[in-house]
Chains A and B, each alone.
Chain A
Amino acid sequence: MSAEPTASAPHVPTRTPRDPASRTSFAQRTEEALLDPFLRVKLRDALDQALAARAARADELPQFEEMRRRAGDIRRHVIGRLAEHVEQFIETAESRGVRVFLAEGAASARQYVVDLARQHGAEHVVKSKSMVTEEIGLFDALAEAGIDVVESDLGEFLAKLAGDAPSHLTAPVVHLSRADIGHLLEEKLGVPFTDRPEEITAIVRDHLRAKFLGSRLGITGANFLVGETGSAVVIENEGNVRLTTSLPPVHVIVAGIERIVPRWADLELFLTLLAASAGGQRLTAYTSVFTGPRREHETGGPDELHIVLVDAGRSDILADPMLREALCCIRCGACLNTCPVYRRVGGHAYGYTYPGPIGQLLAAGLWDAPSGYELAHACTLCSACHGICPVGIDTPALLIQLRNTAIEAGKHAMLRCWPVRLWRWLMLHPAMYRFAARTIGRHGVARFPSLAAAAMPGWVAHRELPAIAPRSFGRLWRDTRGFTDE
């Protein structure tokens, strides 16, 4: 990577964020999240469990670190020559009878699925959890076309019922408590209140069963696409992917173009790492490997299998020599679980489909650069995400670069406000600086904090300015140097 130029050309915003939340600023959304005293407790308890399970599974695998390195190397190889791998996958999948649609933008991906549903007279479709369908707004597009969409994953179902976007990559309703969910079901489904998870799950199970049976179209995402065999691999715990893909005569898989692993034999490494990193499982309860539509001699399964490969900004990310690394992500969500920022503000504050550290990188590439610049500062640079990432994405390093790009592009609001500009000017004019420092030192020490607060209200709202030292640094330097020299 070192030979490549650093990104100096700012991104051209191609799309506005779909999520209404992002029309407010990140700071405003954070403020809201922090005002909810229960959110942090709910997040802490849930995320701690996920982290503990992940740590226990990692301890069980003596070669865990080597596995992470290898997985990172393989992913970087794939992303480094993505065109070849995508082409190979398309060729192989098509030879197995899959109809592949390579969608340049979110709109064409949505349209393809809507057309397909209409073509097959699907009045309602069942859908399993998939972040890329969230990203392209497929649910709303189908709903607007008058097609009833049923989310079949429990968490997604509850999120949609609450009118929320998922707030975590693998745990969509981590922001809701069992009581929140109980009230939600009482209100929306008209069932008696219960806050027992097993009863809630049973209610949703019964509610969804009928929907599976009559659907003509099933939609899923894919965790991995295997170049060598043209297979799409989908992991889950609930069995809803199975129900989504067993009965409807048409199955559509929507996946990002970067989801490719080259070889069949790579599945061991990636499935093991993904299950371990996401929730400490040896494997998730169901791992489905779909290769082509139902074959002639098979019973059950769809007559048609479509795979929609979504670019929608990924080739822009690929073109950015620093952000490119974000495409290696396998969406385990571990970086969210460990991030001190995510753990306090939750997923919705980020304002984009993908929250947390990885989301901060993807926001800059998939949506628009200015939002990415804003989110790039929502990081303490503690590197916990880098330490836990199964493919070793160095998110903090990329965020620092993103901050630099923002400054070069003049997109950093802080640096444009007059006190900072004044300070910059003073720093560039030593004589004036000394004069100003002397003046403040003599006359303004007591008044300086309130002066600074008036000048930069945002900056001092959550910070205390240190008192002005009676002796300036320049003075101190001269005095001390004089002392030590002799």
Chain B
Amino acid sequence: MSSCSHPVLRRLAAQHSPAWAEELPEPFVLRPDSPLSLAQLADLFARRLSELRGEAHYAPEVDDAVPILTHLVQRHGLTRVTCADVPWLTSLVHRAWWDPLTHDVRQADGSVTTAHVLIADTGTVVVAAGPMAHRGATALPRVHIVVAHREQIVYSLGDALTRIIDVAGNDGLPSDILFITGPSRTSDIEKTLVIPAQGPAALHVILIENG
């Protein structure tokens, strides 16, 4: 589109308002009163997530994630699980789950993914599009399980945004970055909270503390 000649842009340009267009103020940054340790960040994240009716699970070592996964699969009665195509994650899931994994997110009732970054202050998991996971893996299955490392937790949304742009660069952002803050919900009917609405009914985050 030759934007410079577009009538809308010409009209907008004619209405340029110097009185309003002073220097652009600096972005606003939310900071904690004092920096938090990794353990404090993990606790804050877990607390926020449980307030949203998600669940955080601690795994001291990578191997400890296996029994947690097994437990979750049984508890939710999962029969068809899809897993992000990341070697360390698939090997974990294979040890917890004996049937073959499915690649069809439409059919899956459970989904296991990694996370890009976690936000303690809001209890948020950030999942970015990549070769590893189908976009629908975070939306279609009934249960979403995230396996992440404690070092991936940052304090605020702003910290997460900084980390994402630092990793990807301004022009390297993936097509889809999803900030998940609790399982799918609605309050459309008389402001009554209902979980789930259209997306997953359960959100679990397994936090690996070492390694």
Contacts and interface: CB of A to CB of B under 8 A. Distances in A.
Interface stretch (B34-42, B64-72, B145-153, B171-179): B171-179
Contacts of A74: 24-25
Nearest to A128: B198
A151 B106 CA distance: 20
B13 A83 contact: yes
A376 to B, nearest CB: 22
A178 B189 contact: yes
A382 interface: no
Given A49-B191, A243-B140, A268-B158, A300 B122 contact: no
A104 B197 contact: no
B194 to A, nearest CB: 5
B210 interface: no
A264 interface: yes
B99 interface: no
A443 interface: no
B105 interface: yes
Interface stretch (A10-18, A84-92, A414-422): A84-92
Nearest to A325: B20
Contacts, number: 288
Nearest to A320: B15
A160 interface: no
Interface string B170-197: 1101111111111111111111101011
B1 interface: yes
A95 B48 CA distance: 38
Interface string A152-184: 111100100000000000011100111001000
B6 A297 contact: no
Given A201-B197, A291-B173, A238 B25 contact: no
B130 to A, nearest CB: 6
B11 A80 contact: no
Interface in A241-295: 242-243, 245-247, 257, 262-269, 271-272, 279, 281-295
A90 B129 contact: no
B175 A282 contact: no
B156 interface: yes
B133 interface: yes
* Residue with the highest number of chain A CB atoms closer than 10 Å, among B48, B135, B182: B135
Interface in B7-23: 7-9, 11-23
B185 A285 contact: yes
B189 A80 contact: no
Contacts of B6: 102
A485 interface: no
A87 B16 CA distance: 13
B114 to A, nearest CB: 14
Interface size class of A (residues with CB under 8 A): 35 or more
A291 B178 CA distance: 11
B129 A301 contact: yes
Contacts of B4: 87
Given A74-B24, A266-B27, A318-B15, A239 B199 contact: yes
Nearest to A42: B190
Contacts of A158: 188
Interface stretch (A65-73, A141-149, A339-347): A65-73
Interface in A339-368: none
Contacts of A205: 196-198
Contact of A1 (B20, B132, B191): B20
Contact of B19 (A3, A152, A268, A292): A3
A412 interface: no
A240 interface: yes
A127 B163 CA distance: 32
B158 A100 contact: no
Contacts of A208: 198
Contact of A297 (B131, B136, B191, B198): B131
A110 interface: no
A240 B197 contact: yes
Contact of A295 (B15, B165, B174, B194): B174
Given A154-B197, A239-B184, A283-B157, A200 B8 contact: no
B20 A297 contact: no
A72 to B, nearest CB: 10
Contacts of A286: 178-181, 184, 199
A245 B198 CA distance: 13
B9 A197 contact: no
Given A82-B12, A87-B3, A90-B1, A155 B188 contact: yes
Q: Which 8 pairs from chain A and chain B are nearest by CB?
A: A239-B199, A80-B20, A80-B21, A238-B197, A300-B135, A242-B139, A155-B188, A300-B134
Interface of B: 1, 3-4, 6-9, 11-25, 27-30, 48, 52, 105-106, 121-124, 129-140, 156-158, 161-162, 165, 170-171, 173-192, 194, 196-200
7 contacts: A46-B190, A67-B28, A70-B25, A86-B8, A205-B197, A285-B52, A297-B130
Given A171-B191, A282-B121, A319-B14, 4 more contacts: A84-B16, A178-B189, A201-B194, A286-B199
